[in-house]
């Protein structure tokens, strides 16, 4: 079935996308208020769409890649509103608004596909919890990634000593760093629990010798990157440029992980 509300929220998100594009092109804040209002309204319709979807398929709607994308878009939009409320800096919108749009677009275009979790084997509470935790963790890590990029730009502006447009628009370094750290600290437990729930579920199905598919391997790589990022921060106060590079690298691995859907993560029954 197609969900009208999802298209409505997509339309609203497109205003946010427009804001991001204009802001990047002109290097000057353009229609942020409109984009923010549209995002706030869009998220309400998005929630309605998610609930309707969930009722229609009689389970939590994360069983197709499209549904998962739509959910991530929703969580990300919510996370942005929370961060904006806390920090009152708007530069993050340039990263978040387009991604929210693309994710929701993926969700809207791909909706109506068959629930590919055909096997009842996959429909256990563990899987839902596993996917939700991973999605929350990824959203937080996206914010870490965006903060990392902003940090590198602002740091470059400050070191080069010839301030350009970015210098005037981006938040202070410490604020960016704070955002990067907090989102990392929030995202890490989610991902860790997500991986644990995945492992628990896998062992209930395959026993102690469950297969190691590429997705699992890659997510373990990103988990180790984030772990070392957190650990070095606690032990040696690691921050700044190198930490930003690490956060970006970690997210790159996550992106590959997200795209790798083979083995037991191939959205079809094993």
* Chain contacts with another protein (rule: CB under 8 A): 154, 158-159, 161-164, 167-168, 171-175, 178, 236-242
User: In the complex, what is the shortest distance from the CB of residue 233 to another protein, in angstroms, rounded to a whole number?
Assistant: 9
CB 141 within 8 A of CB 233: no
User: In the complex, what is the shortest distance from the CB of residue 157 to another protein, in angstroms, rounded to a whole number?
Assistant: 8
User: In the complex, what is the shortest distance from the CB of residue 169 to another protein, in angstroms, rounded to a whole number?
Assistant: 10
Give the C-alpha separation, 68 to 70, whole Å. Answer: 5
Residue closer to another protein by CB (options 53, 177) is 177
Give the C-alpha separation, 146 to 81, whole Å. Answer: 15
Give the C-alpha separation, 157 to 170, whole Å. Answer: 10
Write the CA distances from 72 to 115, 242, 248, integer angstroms: 18, 28, 19
Residue closer to another protein by CB (options 14, 232) is 232
Residue closer to another protein by CB (options 53, 157) is 157
User: In the complex, what is the shortest distance from the CB of residue 154 to another protein, in angstroms, rounded to a whole number?
Assistant: 7
Place of tokens 């995202």: 187
User: In the complex, what is the shortest distance from the CB of residue 151 to another protein, in angstroms, rounded to a whole number?
Assistant: 11
Nearest to 176 by CA among 111, 259, 247, 232: 247
Q: Which residues of 233-251 are buried (b: 16+ CB within 10 A; e: fewer)?
A: beeeeebeeebbebbbbbb
Place of tokens 């009689």: 58
Give the C-alpha separation, 192 to 138, whole Å. Answer: 11
User: In the complex, what is the shortest distance from the CB of residue 221 to another protein, in angstroms, rounded to a whole number?
Assistant: 25
Helix crossing, 65-87 with 125-160: angle to 10°? 50
Residue closer to another protein by CB (options 99, 147) is 147
Residue closer to another protein by CB (options 163, 259) is 163
**Token pair belonging to 147:** 């903060």
User: In the complex, what is the shortest distance from the CB of residue 42 to another protein, in angstroms, rounded to a whole number?
Assistant: 26
Residue closer to another protein by CB (options 2, 162) is 162
Residue closer to another protein by CB (options 31, 109) is 31
């Amino acid at each position: 079935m197609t969900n009208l509300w999802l298209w409505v929220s997509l339309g609203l998100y497109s205003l946010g996308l427009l804001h991001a594009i204009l802001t990047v092109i002109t290097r000057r804040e353009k229609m942020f208020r409109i984009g923010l209002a549209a995002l706030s309204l869009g998220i309400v319709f998005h929630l309605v769409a998610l609930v309707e979807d969930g009722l229609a398929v009689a389970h939590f709607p994360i069983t197709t890649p499209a549904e998962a994308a739509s959910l991530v878009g929703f969580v990300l939009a919510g996370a942005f509103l929370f961060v904006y409320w806390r920090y009152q800096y708007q530069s993050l919108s340039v990263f978040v608004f387009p991604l929210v749009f693309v994710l929701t677009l993926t969700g809207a275009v791909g909706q109506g596909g068959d629930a590919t979790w055909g096997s009842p084997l996959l429909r256990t509470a563990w899987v839902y919890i596993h996917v939700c935790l991973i999605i929350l963790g990824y959203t937080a890590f996206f914010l870490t990634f965006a903060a990392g990029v902003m940090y590198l730009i602002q740091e470059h502006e400050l070191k080069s000593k010839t301030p350009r447009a970015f210098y005037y628009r981006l938040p202070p370094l410490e604020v960016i760093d704070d955002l990067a750290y907090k989102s990392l600290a929030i995202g890490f437990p989610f991902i860790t629990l997500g991986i644990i729930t995945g492992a628990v579920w896998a062992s209930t199905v395959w026993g102690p010798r469950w297969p190691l598919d590429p997705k699992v391997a890659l997510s373990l790589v990103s988990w180790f990157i984030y772990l070392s990022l957190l650990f070095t921060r606690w032990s040696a106060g690691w921050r700044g440029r190198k930490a930003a590079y690490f956060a970006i690298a970690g997210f790159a691995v996550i992106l590959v992980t997200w795209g790798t859907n083979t083995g037991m993560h191939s959205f079809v029954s094993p």
